[in-house]
Amino acid sequence: MIEAPLAASPTQAPASAAPTLVVRDLCTHFPTEAGVVRAVDGVSFDVAPGRILGLVGESGSGKSQTGFSILGLIEPPGAVVGGSIVFEGRDITHLPERAMRRLRGNRIAMVFQDPMMTLNPVLTIGTHLVETLRAHQPVSRSEAARRACEALAAVGIPAPAERLDAYPHEFSGGMRQRVAIAIALLHRPALIIADEPTTALDVTIQAQILFEVQKLARAQGTAVIWISHDLAVVSALADDIAVMYAGRIVERGPARAVLAHPAHPYTRGLIGSVASQNQRGQRLRQIRGMPPRLADLPAGCAFRARCDHATAACEAAPAESTVAPGHHLRCFHPQP
Amino acid sequence: MSAATPAALEARAVSQLYARPARAFEGLARRLGLASPARPVQALDRVSVRVERGEVVGLVGESGCGKSTLARIVAGIRPPTSGEVLVDGKPLASLAGREAIAAKLRTQMIFQDPYASLNPRMRVSDIIAEAPRLHGLIEGSESDFVDRALERTGLDPSFKRRYPHQFSGGQRQRVVIARALAVSPEVLVCDEPVSALDVSIQAQVLNLFLDLREQLRLTYLFISHDLGVVHHVSDRVVIMYLGRVVEEAPTEEIFRRPNHPYTQALLAETPRIAPGQREFSPISGEMPSPSNPPSGCHFHPRCPHAMPVCRSVAPPLEAVAPGHRSACHLNRMPSTLEQEIPQ
Amino acid sequence: MSALAFPAGARPRAQSPWRQAFAKVARSKSALAGLVVLGLIILAAVFAGLIAPQNPYDLVQLDIMDSSLAPGSKASAGFTYLLGSDPQGRDMLSAMLYGLRISLFVGVGSAIIACIAGATLGLVAAYAGARVEALLMRLVDLQLSFPSILVALMILAVLGKGVGNVMLALVLVEWAYYARVARASALVERSREYIEAAECLAVPRWRVVMRHLLPNCLPPLIVIATMQVARAISLEATLSFLGLGVPVTEPSLGLLISNGYTDMMSGKYWISFYPGLALLVTIVAINLVGDRLRDVLNPRTLQ
């Protein structure tokens, strides 16, 4: 089952608008007993308003830590040790916690894989929404309740007025995730960071959530960073893709370009190893070896040990090069 | 489907009901109106699946469809509430003693979670050798036996003295496979064996499954929610929804000509790697809970083609093409429909 | 197919979860201090016969003329009463060392027996389920609803004094904690996939319980056992203090404290003070280790 590409959707924000988020050379390190873990090791990307960036990688690639770094959620002894995060023109890399709290939930929102990380099991859904609203804006309770109902309806929850008094455990997993998204969208944030929000959900429910997010992001012009290990989900949703490996972005560019002409051997290997990209009954194309241990990364290109095209040149860390307009790469041997 | 040669593994009209045992004074409480009767959860409703020798049957379904329950029943871990499981044509429940043990060992299970399916306090060599040692299956030195078992799944035998937590997820899954193969089974029931692994490791482990099938002439019941994987490895596919089989057909047939609306929705909504975004048009509604299933056809609340009969009568699983069966009222001729609507 | 190698730099030796846990415990300074102190105490108790200047149980060696002498006084026999002597003429230091031995023996012994008995019942309850489980757990609830001292006093009042009876009373008081914890742990582990795998491989039920279920239910039991040792020691001290515990001629720390209780007012502090200090240090050391053990063996931090 090798699918034919489908037509691109017509309504997309132009990539030339001033970017909502500019990340340059972000480095987040965690000191551990085994050594310093360079979870995020020089990551740079932009996200424009209304565009969806898919941040793809496997476990240990640093994609979730990148999201946490942007939100200032890195707990000591870990810390952002280098680089800059510029949000709406303002440098928030080392913003004090109080200022960060005014941004979180208001201008930048996060959706987690487990909606129970957002929802307190002893509070009703209504309390969650009303509290979030009144934390950042002076509104009356009745006004807040009305807006809460609107938010629930916008994410497709039926009979929202009745559901306001319900507790999280009375909802199914998919509904809970929708509530989490509703909370994220309450203040019309400029940026949403979604960390694997549909990984634990069924295919049919996942499709519903993707649909809602796509619709709402386009309607409100919200920039979205969608973190996932699932290339298929990202390919269907994202405008741009960035592929991460061992804390670095190895390839990034428009989704079409990266998926149709992957230049980095890892991206190629990743796409190639998906079952639907292989002939039925044949052995899957696989990337040999195992993911690296972040505590002692080899010098130079971290993918070297598993790459079929590695040469002596790869012992030096490749800098970012451009293979096509907007399509960037960290590799000495880009694949045609 | 020849009835002469028995299937390697067969579930016949298997049902599984979970009923909470009555608590003390519950009868009294119910009479006083303080407690409502506990509704049993029907995890499986008269499910029949046949796996012929050497076949790979892919079982697809979402949460609550009962696929994990079915897996445990056919692997002999749990007895069904009703119906029977046949191994090589012989009902599992009718066997006793050594025959029962041999039949149990013939069907082994590979679990989803590589972290929970290995005893964290046993060394890998003990994990693999325990059952063969107990059942007298080891000829020669146990150490050689374990070495061969590990090599067969691509693991370095020098690590056999280690504990599970010292291995990565993909390696642990290989240990699970080695443990299952150590008792020389003929059928492997694989319950989402690669879902918890990274994408690049998934490919390695799936290739291992394909290689082992050839080398050892195994039969698989392969459960997965990932349609791409199922399409790649299966000869036949069975689709389940809320405890019932809704469609089954050879792989290419079901992917090219899906008959049941649920199958069609699954295929349409599964994201694929394709350059270019798509517009989503998902089916509405939530997955109903198995403790309160819709009447008639379980899928009717979410089905775009639901008819009045779908609400009252559960459609039987019938042939729509050679080897292709589907449970949907849309397939039935209008004349037969009139006979079914209850008066 | 080529064998997969470990990534470079992996640990070369097998690392048992027990060894890992011990290493983690030793990493905390307070727990390490507790371990060291405990080690010294145990050594002192074991080698009491060699260290003590006098055998306090040998009534021949005691001299009533030497009663209640202050620390540093000279004995009729020639040696120095380093910590003074008690009303019976016993050397406090020797009495404490031997008393430590009894306290530790009773405390650790009763904890181990109660652990084995309670854990077995708890595991059986979890695996058998239904009525057996309900019956056992109601027994546990019943047991735990009574104050431990009350139950122990009642038992000792019926059976009489003596080291053996005290241990029996402590076991009967303590088993319920272990049973409850063991059952809760077993219920969680019972539905784990490695248990299902063992059943799929036709491993006999008794072996599943002993080899698979029990070792994985041990961590919370070990934590409870550690804390219970401290509790048992202090409970025994209480009982002896009240006069219902060990016999007068073989005093434990509790009885020693009781002996000197009334003398505190007349300034002869050493008779109660030093045994009390020894008891305090022992229990604090056990608690330090137990606290750290609980953090280390917490299943959430174990993964």
Confidence of residue B93 (pLDDT cuts 50, 70, 90): confident
User: Do B4 and B152 sit in the same domain of this protein?
Assistant: yes
Domain enclosing residue B333, as ranges: 261-272+287-343
User: Do B295 and B187 sit in the same domain of this protein?
Assistant: no
Structure tokens that stand for C289 in this block:
């280790």
Cα–Cα distance, C130 to C139 (Å, whole number)? 15
Cα–Cα distance, B225 to B58 (Å, whole number)? 10
User: Do B215 and B343 sit in the same domain of this protein?
Assistant: no
pLDDT score recorded for residue C6: 41
User: Do B295 and B324 sit in the same domain of this protein?
Assistant: yes
Report the residue of chain A nearest C3, measured CA to CA.
A289
Domain enclosing residue C118, as ranges: 93-302
CATH code for the domain of B131: 3.40.50.300
Under 8 Å between Cβ of B106 and B186: yes
Structure tokens that stand for A77 in this block:
């002894």
Q: Is the pLDDT of residue B92 over 60?
A: yes
Confidence of residue C12 (pLDDT cuts 50, 70, 90): very low
Report the residue of chain C nearest B75, measured CA to CA.
C200
Within C163-211, residue ranges assigned H as helices are 163-190, 193-200, 205-207
pLDDT score recorded for residue B36: 67
pLDDT score recorded for residue B339: 43
Task: Please judge whether B165 and C17 are an interchain contact, meaning their C-beta atoms are less than 8 angstroms apart.
Answer: yes
C165 domain-assigned = yes
CA of A252, closest CA in chain C: separation in Å?
A: 28
Task: Please judge whether C4 and A292 are an interchain contact, meaning their C-beta atoms are less than 8 angstroms apart.
Answer: no
pLDDT score recorded for residue C3: 37
B95 domain-assigned = yes
C163 domain-assigned = yes
B55-68 pLDDT tens trace: 999 999 887 788 88
Q: In whole numbers, what is the pLDDT of chain C averaged over residues?
A: 82
B342 domain-assigned = yes
To 5 degrees, how large is the angle CA B161–CA B151–CA A269?
110
Q: Along chain A (336 residues), what's the average pLDDT of each consecutive run of 10 residues?
A: 37 60 92 85 91 90 91 88 90 89 88 87 90 86 89 83 87 85 86 88 81 83 91 87 92 90 90 84 83 79 84 83 86 81
- Taking residues B161-179, report their average pLDDT: 90
For residue C140, CA distances in Å to A20, A57, B50, C217 come to: 61, 51, 48, 18
User: Any CB–CB contact under 8 A between B66 and chain C?
Assistant: no
User: Do B223 and B315 sit in the same domain of this protein?
Assistant: no
Q: In whole numbers, what is the pLDDT of chain B averaged over residues?
A: 85
Q: What are phi and psi of C70, to 5 degrees?
A: -70, 160
C143 domain-assigned = yes
User: Do B50 and B79 sit in the same domain of this protein?
Assistant: yes
Q: Chain B: list its partners (3+ Cβ pairs within 8 Å).
A: A, C
User: Any CB–CB contact under 8 A between A124 and chain B?
Assistant: no
Task: Please judge whether B119 and C196 are an interchain contact, meaning their C-beta atoms are less than 8 angstroms apart.
Answer: no
User: Do B175 and B320 sit in the same domain of this protein?
Assistant: no
Q: What is the dihedral of CA A306, A307, A313, A318, to 10 degrees?
A: -90
Indicate the angle between helix axes C270-297 and C253-260, nearest 10 degrees.
140
Structure tokens that stand for C112 in this block:
């181990």
B248 domain-assigned = no
Looking at residue B11, its amino acid is A
Cα–Cα distance, B210 to A230 (Å, whole number)? 23
Chain A contact residues (CB < 8 Å to C): 289-290, 292-293, 295-296
Question: Which of B119, B155, B163 should we substitute to test contact with C (largest number of C Cβ atoms within 10 Å)?
Answer: B119
Stronger pLDDT, A3 or B139, i.e. the higher one: B139
CA dihedral for B135, B136, B140, B141, sign (positive or negative): positive
For residue A303, CA distances in Å to A271, A327, B197 come to: 16, 19, 19
User: Do B333 and B228 sit in the same domain of this protein?
Assistant: no
Question: Bridge-partner residues for B60, per DSSP?
Answer: B239
Cα–Cα distance, B104 to B307 (Å, whole number)? 44
Task: Please judge whether B206 and A275 are an interchain contact, meaning their C-beta atoms are less than 8 angstroms apart.
Answer: yes
Cα–Cα distance, B198 to A68 (Å, whole number)? 21
Q: Is B185 helix (H, G, I), strand (E, B) or coil?
A: coil
The pLDDT > 70 percentage for chain C reads 93
For residue C141, CA distances in Å to A261, B11, C120, C134, C190 come to: 68, 44, 17, 10, 22
The pLDDT > 70 percentage for chain B reads 90
Q: How many domains does chain C contain in total?
A: 1
Q: How many domains does chain B contain in total?
A: 2
pLDDT score recorded for residue B253: 92
CA of B162, closest CA in chain A: separation in Å?
A: 18
pLDDT score recorded for residue B4: 60
Question: Which of A122-126, B281-285, C253-257 is the most confident on average?
Answer: A122-126
Length of chain B: 343
Q: Is the pLDDT of residue B337 over 80?
A: no
B193 domain-assigned = yes
Question: Bridge-partner residues for B41, per DSSP?
Answer: B18
CATH code for the domain of C233: 1.10.3720.10
Q: Is the pLDDT of residue C48 over 70?
A: yes
C108 domain-assigned = yes
Cα–Cα distance, C178 to C169 (Å, whole number)? 16
Contact partners, residue B118, CB within 8 Å, separation at least 6:
B124, B127, B164, B172, B175, B176, B179, C194
Under 8 Å between Cβ of A44 and A26: yes
Q: Is A308 exposed, middle or buried (0-12, 13-18, 19+ CB in 10 A)?
A: exposed
CA of C10, closest CA in chain A: separation in Å?
A: 9
pTM: 0.81
Task: Please judge whether A259 and B273 are an interchain contact, meaning their C-beta atoms are less than 8 angstroms apart.
Answer: yes
Report the residue of chain C nearest A293, measured CA to CA.
C7
pLDDT score recorded for residue A1: 37
User: Do B117 and B222 sit in the same domain of this protein?
Assistant: yes
Which residues from chain A sit within 8 angstroms of residue B205, using beta carbons? Answer: none
C147 domain-assigned = yes
What totals of helices (H) and strands (E) does chain B contain, helices first?
Answer: 12, 12
Tell me the DSSP string of A194-224. Answer: EESTTTTS-HHHHHHHHHHHHHHHHHHT-EE
Q: Chain A: list its partners (3+ Cβ pairs within 8 Å).
A: B, C
Cα of first residue to Cα of last residue in chain C, in angstroms, is 31
Under 8 Å between Cβ of C101 and C45: yes
B98 domain-assigned = yes
Cα of first residue to Cα of last residue in chain B, in angstroms, is 36
Q: What is the predicted ipTM?
A: 0.83
How much of chain A is in helix, strand and coil states, percent to nearest 5?
35, 25, 40
Which residues from chain A sit within 8 angstroms of residue C9, using beta carbons? Answer: 293, 295-296
B12 domain-assigned = yes
User: Do B197 and B266 sit in the same domain of this protein?
Assistant: no
Task: Please judge whether B228 and A230 are an interchain contact, meaning their C-beta atoms are less than 8 angstroms apart.
Answer: no
User: Do B99 and B136 sit in the same domain of this protein?
Assistant: yes
